[in-house]
Structure 1
Amino acid sequence: MLLFRGRVRSIHQNRNSQRKYAINMCSGRIMPKMLLFAIPVMLTSILQLLFNAADIIVVGRFAGDNSLAAVGSNSSLIGLMTNLFVGLSIGTNVLVSRYFGSKDGEGISKAVSTSILVAVVSGVFLTLLGVIFARKILILMKTPPEVLGLATLYLVIYFFGMTPMMIYNFGSAVLRASGDTRRPLVYLSIAGMINVVLNLFFVIYLHLDVAGVAIATVISQCVSAALVLRCLSREEGPMRLTLSKARIDLESLAKIMRIGVPAGLQGVLFSFSNVVIQSSINSFGAIVMAGSSASDNIEMFVYFSMEAFYQATISFTSQNMGAGKIDRVYKVLKTGVICSVVAGVVFGVIVVTFSHQLLGIYTSSEAVIAVGEERIRIIILTYALCGLMEVMGGVMRGIGYSVLPTAVTLLGVCVFRVIWVTGLLSIPAFHSVITVYLSYPASWALTFGAHLACFLWVKKHVLSKYRRAAA
């Protein structure tokens, strides 16, 4: 009897804990709930950036400019090779959110099990891909000879952490679907502190250079993945993951891929255009590479302050679509746009104001800092356009239209940037790194306008039918 009461008490405590972390996205005021959702996502993304920032800062300070360029210049390539599978986690978020909105427990359970197994398969595939093709791709990106060896070593070791990285991303997507954005933040905070300590130890005391920061990153990714798996395995109800019983449900997999593959392709296209741009930047030499890499790392802090509201609009839109509350979808879009623009402007002004000091964290070279400041002034002051573009795409994905924003991004970001860079750089008057940087705001403005037109079409031809059906 005492044992039974103890088990009942434990179950009630677990359910109360789950309710404490969950957010009801289908009723009440949207703004405070969106902030409650988005701020932990923002901090989580910033901590993920700190993984890379810690790598770049440590090698920049203790290993030299070539090591800094080797680590920093890999970010666009890593994004290119991982974004397709990270995009699948967006499919997980949309599907589980939709099941939460419609209160489909069986659907949630199947989606959770399928998502974690997909994460494992994706991670193993990426590891093989990265290890086999790392050097060849870096050569195609015109990586300078003095940087190539270090960049290859960093990339190969980094890709051994792909499986835990995928597990953390998919597990976090499951938790975000219920509104739980705080526990992923806690888990990443623990992993982040481990990463920083190991970075310093491996580079300063063991003199492992870029290999040290890569090993530290892999270890920290394993920690964050283990904590997410532990969390899901201790949940009660449909979100509980039992690894011994985990199976891939083909129907859930198909739904995840329908949303996730286009979202992932968008990420790949983004990264492909960035690889083209990085190749152009590489042609201007190691100093420009290092300054651009440091600036890019700082810019990402502003980007993720806006991207958190993209994540929020996906979950809020998906749950309200599942609950049949179409009118709240419009309010979600309005709130997401306001929050994203405010975040982009506020954090952008801070970065521009303190750009010299921030770049000085990464390197003591005045030449590198000057290059970084030049890039920051062009990109950060127009970054709000990127936030607008992301939120519009997020709402359409939450509605269930993922192919449309991907097609728009293909034309507005990837194709446009490639044409811009390859075309203008061939003209002597425009052959400068400034021309490369200007491709960013130009593509954001174009893509946002196209996303807006697509949403108005979806509103007229799709959401109006949902509204009539719900009525």
Structure 2
Amino acid sequence: MKTRNNLITAPIGPTLLAFAVPTLVSSILQSANGSIDTVWVGRLLGSNAVAATTNGNLVMFLLTAFVFGFGMAATILVGQSVGRGDIAAARRVAGTAIGAFVPLAILLAIGGWFVAPHVLDLLDTEAEIVPLARAYLQVTFLAFPAILTMTLLMMTLRGSGDAITPLIFMALAVLMDIGLNPLLILGLGPFPALGIGGSALATAVANYVALAAMVTYVYARDLPLRLRGPELKYLRPDPAILKLMLIKGLPMGMQMIVVSSSMLAMMNLVNRQGVDTTAAFGATQQLWTYVQMPAMALGAAVSAMTAQNIGAGRWDRVARITGSGILFNLMLTGGLVALLLWADGSAMRLFLGDEQTAVTIGRHIAKLATWGFIPFGITMVLFATIRANGQVLWPLIILFISMFPVRLGFAYGFQPWLGEDALWFSFPAGMMATLIMATLLYVFGNWRAERDMVVRETANG
């Protein structure tokens, strides 16, 4: 199989970079989608609407994070199966992932519509933006099944060594979302004027159309993970695979929930500083998504490449894959940090327009906190390598310590001395703590001894 040779036998540095670049471009497109949506909302509806989407997007990130861990488990299982040359096992993993979690996403979407107002109350959302945030969040919940399914399919495809197909259909979703936003916000042409709810509806329509197109493409090109004929029974979750995905996926999903829940707690502190600070923090988060994209893309590439090499028994290549990932991360993330700090004023005005108070606050936040994404990038590579062999508990423990005792402890504990700046300094403090502990785990941990990521034949298979 071509992808197997690419990730297992080809030169490590060029192959890792070639695999990471489509994932990076896909991440850029996904982040650009959110950023351009924010620009549309900010320019057409004002900073209150930007603050409303900031609260809503955090909630959606929390829910997506819950299933992200299971997608990561599927990626690793598919990768190790492909590395062993067992395509049937890879298809069984993909079928179980889709068959188990799509119904769950539908239930979450239905429930989310009704609980959205209560969630916003928990976030201590300012009263003046609650109606906007509720309208945005409720419609966004309707997109959740498509977003989840797209995410699972893209992650399993990357596990098989295919980074191009996810890029193609992420681009389709982004272009549709960008084009529909102003039409549905303002009600241009035959479209109704839906305000902030139109932005959320644009996301939903774009993701459902892109999902349908991607499934059609997978079958038209007869890609390795497609299910035909008797293989369609793999959509009935295999208990053994599902158990393995739960055991490994739950801690990985909890890692994302730890990060996002600490951000929700931070959002509560930010909201207390006023609408200008909330809007500035929302714009800063949009910029930070770009800064962390190389780390996330290289982490995904390292995870898939390491999993396939472990499956093939090529442990001699694992450390070199990790080293290449760290080097590329230092170059790319460091460059983006420098670029953002150089152009922070223009970047903030892109999201916040001419509202000078919010722009000034956003520039201040960026100067104090953005450098922390350099150690963050190294950590993502170390965690990707460790998780590729099934060790998922210690990364969860490390993140919990870094996000709560360190980050939130810093934010709360240093406010009497640093004031509002304690919130912004807490981000690099947490990232440095994570890097130190991740390095100790990589060097001294027993993660290389894990041997439980093999998909075995069952009665369902």
2:424 equivalent among 408, 417, 437: 437
Q: Aligned pair 1:135/2:117, yes or no?
A: yes
CA contact (8 A) 2:251 2:393 kept: yes
**Secondary structure at 2:226's aligned position in 1?**
coil
Q: 1:250 to 1:464 in 2, by over 3 A?
A: closer
User: After superposition, what is the alpha-carbon deviation per residue over 1:57-93, rounded to whole angstroms, capped at 9, x for unaligned?
Assistant: 1110011111111012322222122201022111110
**Alpha-carbon offset, residue 343 of structure 1:** 1.2
CA distance in 1, matches of 2:24, 2:14: 15
1:276 equivalent among 249, 262, 265: 265
Which residue is 1:353 aligned to? 342
Q: Aligned pair 1:222/2:208, yes or no?
A: yes
CA contact (8 A) 1:294 1:362 kept: yes
Which residue is 2:95 aligned to? 113
**Secondary structure at 2:133's aligned position in 1?**
helix
CA distance in 2, matches of 1:172, 1:143: 33
Letter in 2 for 1:220: A
Q: 1:133 to 1:356 in 2, by over 3 A?
A: same
**Alpha-carbon offset, residue 378 of structure 1:** 1.7
**Alpha-carbon offset, residue 130 of structure 1:** 2.0
Which residue is 2:49 aligned to? 67
Unaligned runs of 5+ in 2: 452-461
Is 219-228 or 151-160 further displaced after alignment? 219-228
Q: Aligned pair 1:250/2:233, yes or no?
A: no
Which residue is 2:298 aligned to? 309
CA contact (8 A) 1:105 1:238 kept: yes
Count of aligned positions? 443
CA distance in 1, matches of 2:265, 2:16: 35
CA distance in 2, matches of 1:304, 1:126: 27
**Alpha-carbon offset, residue 194 of structure 1:** 0.8
CA contact (8 A) 1:160 1:218 kept: yes
CA contact (8 A) 2:102 2:148 kept: yes
**Alpha-carbon offset, residue 54 of structure 1:** 2.2
**Alpha-carbon offset, residue 302 of structure 1:** 1.1
User: After superposition, what is the alpha-carbon deviation per residue over 1:286-337, rounded to whole angstroms, capped at 9, x for unaligned?
Assistant: 0011111011101101111221011111111111110111121111110111
CA contact (8 A) 2:76 2:388 kept: yes
Q: 1:177 to 1:58 in 2, by over 3 A?
A: same
CA contact (8 A) 2:4 2:82 kept: no
Which residue is 1:385 aligned to? 375
CA distance in 2, matches of 1:462, 1:387: 20
Q: Aligned pair 1:413/2:400, yes or no?
A: no
Letter in 2 for 1:187: F
Q: Aligned pair 1:463/2:448, yes or no?
A: yes
CA distance in 1, matches of 2:5, 2:51: 42
Q: Aligned pair 1:451/2:438, yes or no?
A: yes
Q: 1:420 to 1:130 in 2, by over 3 A?
A: farther
**Alpha-carbon offset, residue 400 of structure 1:** 1.3
CA contact (8 A) 1:93 1:174 kept: yes
**Alpha-carbon offset, residue 224 of structure 1:** 2.3
Q: 1:200 to 1:465 in 2, by over 3 A?
A: closer
CA contact (8 A) 2:106 2:144 kept: yes
Q: 1:437 to 1:465 in 2, by over 3 A?
A: closer
CA distance in 1, matches of 2:7, 2:418: 49
CA contact (8 A) 2:389 2:447 kept: no
CA distance in 2, matches of 1:23, 1:199: 42
Q: 1:236 to 1:294 in 2, by over 3 A?
A: same
CA distance in 2, matches of 1:252, 1:340: 33
User: After superposition, what is the alpha-carbon deviation per residue over 1:223-258, rounded to whole angstroms, capped at 9, x for unaligned?
Assistant: 222123223334547521249542211122122222
2:357 equivalent among 364, 367, 373: 367
CA distance in 1, matches of 2:140, 2:450: 47
CA distance in 2, matches of 1:310, 1:462: 17
CA distance in 1, matches of 2:270, 2:130: 15
Q: CA RMSD in A?
A: 1.9
CA distance in 1, matches of 2:290, 2:164: 19
CA distance in 2, matches of 1:56, 1:186: 23
Is 122-131 or 30-39 further displaced after alignment? 122-131
CA contact (8 A) 2:72 2:252 kept: yes
User: After superposition, what is the alpha-carbon deviation per residue over 1:386-423, rounded to whole angstroms, capped at 9, x for unaligned?
Assistant: 11111111111002101111111111223422222233
Identity of counterpart residues, as a percentage?
23
**Secondary structure at 2:168's aligned position in 1?**
helix
Letter in 1 for 2:393: V
Letter in 2 for 1:296: Q
Q: 1:366 to 1:248 in 2, by over 3 A?
A: same
Q: Aligned pair 1:80/2:80, yes or no?
A: no
CA contact (8 A) 1:54 1:199 kept: no
CA contact (8 A) 2:412 2:422 kept: no
CA distance in 2, matches of 1:361, 1:50: 12
CA distance in 2, matches of 1:67, 1:334: 43
**Alpha-carbon offset, residue 383 of structure 1:** 1.3
Which residue is 1:164 aligned to? 146
CA contact (8 A) 1:232 1:241 kept: no
Letter in 1 for 2:184: F
**Secondary structure at 1:73's aligned position in 2?**
helix
CA contact (8 A) 1:26 1:319 kept: yes
1:49 equivalent among 21, 31, 51: 31
Q: 1:125 to 1:457 in 2, by over 3 A?
A: farther
